[in-house]
Amino acid sequence: MKITMIGTGYVGLVSGACFADFGHDVVCVDKDSSKIAAIESGQMPIYEPGLDQLVGGNAAAGRLSFTTDLAAGVKGADAIFIAVGTPSRRGDGHADLSYVYAAAREIAEALDGPAVIVTKSTVPVGTGDEVERIAREARPDLDIAVVSNPEFLREGAAISDFKRPDRIVVGTTGDERAINAMQQIYRPLYLNQAPLLFTGRRTAELIKYAANAFLATKITFINEMADLCEAVGAEVQDVARGIGLDNRIGSKFLHAGPGYGGSCFPKDTLALVKTGQDHETPIRIVETVVQVNDLRKRAMGRKIVKAMGGDARGKTVALLGLTFKPNTDDMRDAPSIAIVQALEDAGAKVVAYDPEGMAAASALMPGITMATDAYSAAQGADALVLVTEWNAFRALDLKRLAASMNAPVLVDLRNIYPAAEVRAAGFSLTRIGDKAVDA
Ligand code: UDX
């Protein structure tokens, strides 16, 4: 199949490279010429394990190419995927669809024959209808089908998620040619037993939001249980294990922490809330999840101040990890941003180290000092806070860290350190959802 991918952001680049790896002929298009030039020279615009080899290998094999010329990229394609950004619109939280609609029009204008247009960007219910209207208006002469094919990949595990998905969701309006094209495109996966679920187009659009909102709700639920554990003297990790072993609940996404961040959960929960309000069907659970999560991120700052004895003025706090989760350089809606803000408001000075996120974090938070590693971050600090659970932080020499600090206070916001070891190293310890804290 000949596939064109519009947008070389996270989803577009990973999907394009994976489709090429399946043996399809893929052209990736992006307006940003410096981005295209960088990718062609082997510089990936994002940090994602294995992506550079996948792109390089498939480009060398002649199955994957890049261009800034949308019209040229679209010519002769069997399917054109729209994978452009859908940021939250400033002010009202709705997804901004201007890039999607602009792409739909440009694609249609450039088409030289019948084609299937596939929206892969996360788009609110009804966007497919509008994409179809725009495309037909631009090219009434052509047979165009518009399909929704949401993406469920996780940053940091995107390639394996793409190649071994739990399911592939395809929403159509029943067009046979579109269904056949999507079956051909995903053939290598459903031969691997991945269920290919065909639904209505609006349904597919909603599935994506429902999945993310459900996972965000699950995390928020266990986060609130963590707060209750602290209040009543229980341990949230055991609560998570105890409920997660019930198959109806499941053990995943029950890790209590500083609140969810990233490019999907915050944006998609907000967009679902807006869709519900627009249709006079408020999704109250998700509205609450959004509020609770926002408050939680700042509350983590107060938790750190409390661990330091209640006064942060003139003190130095060292943060380990800044990105919203490990194995990414993505800082979007990272809990660290609200934590830093709260600490600075409380009068503290912040020092931080992150394996991949410091460049993006410096631009967002110019007031913090970046350290070259975990040990230099901790040097002379009044508290050490584990914010993001990078593997590199799991095997640190805790004794060395404690000895180098002004006050050996450890706040573990991901519960990765065994309490006994931390205390044996000389630290006082604060965890999430565990009454057994020293502060
Ligand atoms: C998510 C979805 O998993 C993916 O299917 C969707 O397509 C995009 O959004 P991603 O944002 O890459 O993927 O990260 P994910 O691993 O899901 O984590 C999201 C946030 O939730 C992170 O901040 C993470 O730290 C937090 N989280 C996750 C928890 O706090 N506890 C958990 O148990 C799981």
CB-CB neighbours of 373 under 10 Å: 12
Query: Is the pLDDT at 175 greater than 60, yes or no?
Result: yes
* Percent residues over pLDDT 90 in the chain: 93
332 among the known binding-site residues? Answer: yes
CA of 159 to the centre of ligand 1 (A): 15
Ligand 1 pocket, CB under 6 A: 151-155, 212, 215, 219, 253-255, 257, 260-265, 324-325
Dihedral of CA atoms 252, 254, 260, 265 in degrees, nearest 10, equals 50
> Distance between CA 139 and CA 360 in Å, rounded?
41
Residue 323 region by backbone torsions, left for phi larger than 0, else alpha for psi between -120 and 50, else beta: beta
The CA 389 to ligand 1 mean position distance, Å, reads 13
CA 205 remoteness from chain centre: 18
Give the count of beta carbons closer than 10 Å to the beta carbon of residue 8: 27
Write down the pLDDT at residue 438. Answer: 54
> What pLDDT, on a 0 to 100 scale, did the predictor assign at position 194?
87
pTM over 0.90: yes
- Joined together, the tokens standing for residue 236 give 């949230």
Quote the CA–CA distance of 336 and 259 in Å, as a whole number.
10
Average pLDDT over the chain, rounded to whole? 95
Calculate Rg over the CA atoms of the chain: 24
Encoding tokens for residue 339? 């934590």
What is the strand order of the sheet 25-29 is part of?
64-67, 25-29, 2-6, 79-82, 115-119, 144-148, 168-172, 196-200
Whether 234-439 and 2-194 are alike in CATH topology: the answer is yes
Other C-beta atoms lying within 10 Å of the C-beta of residue 140: 9
CA distance linking residue 155 with residue 227, whole number of Å:
28
Question: Is 70 exceeded by the pLDDT of residue 191?
Answer: no
Residue 155 annotated as lining a ligand binding site: yes
What was the ipTM of the complex prediction?
0.96
Are the C-beta atoms of residues 355 and 393 closer than 8 Å to each other? no
Q: Ligand 1 center to residue 257 CA distance, Å?
A: 11
The pLDDT assigned to 99 comes to 95
Instruction: Please count the residues of the chain.
Output: 439
* CATH tag, 2-194: 3.40.50.720
Residues forming a β-bridge with 318: 351, 384
* CA–CA separation, 146 and 261 (whole Å): 31
Q: Are 337 and 405 in contact (CB under 8 A)?
A: no
Domain positions in the chain: 2-194, 234-439
Q: Could you give the CA distance from residue 209 to residue 261 in angstroms, rounded to a whole number?
A: 16
pLDDT tens-digit series, residues 327-365? 999 999 999 999 999 999 999 999 999 999 999 999 999
Residue appearing with tokens 């019930």: 246
Question: Is the per-residue pLDDT at 439 higher than 60?
Answer: no
pLDDT tens digits, one per residue of 119-135: 999 999 999 999 999 99
Give the sign of the dihedral formed by CA 5, CA 10, CA 13, CA 14: negative
Residue 434 DSSP label: B
Tell me which residues are annotated as active site.
264
- Closest-CA residue, ligand 1 atom 5, reads 152
Q: Which amino acid appears at position 432 of this protein?
A: I
Residues 6+ apart with CB under 8 A from 336: 319, 321, 322, 323, 324, 352, 361, 387, 388
Q: Which of 408, 400, 368 is nearest to 384 (CA)?
A: 408
Residue 23 token pair: 């043996």
Residue 432 has pLDDT above 80, yes or no: yes
CA 284 to centroid of chain Cα atoms:
23
Per-residue model confidence as pLDDT tens digits over 9-27: 999 999 999 999 999 999 9
pLDDT tens digits, residue range 229-240? 999 999 999 999
Rounded distance from Cα 260 to ligand 1 centre (Å): 7
**What is the C-alpha to C-alpha distance for residues 211 and 261, in angstroms, rounded to an integer?**
16
Superfamily of domain 234-439: NAD(P)-binding Rossmann-like Domain (3.40.50.720)
Instruction: Please report, as a single letter, which amino acid is at residue 431.
Output: R
Distance CA 71, CA 408 (A): 60
Amino acid at 274: K
Which residue CA neighbors atom 28 of ligand 1 most closely?
253
- CA torsion angle for 307, 310, 313, 315 (degrees, to 10)? -20
CA dihedral 21→27→33→35, nearest 10 degrees, is -20
- Pocket probe mutation, ligand 1, options 162, 260, 331, max atoms within 8 Å of Cβ: 260
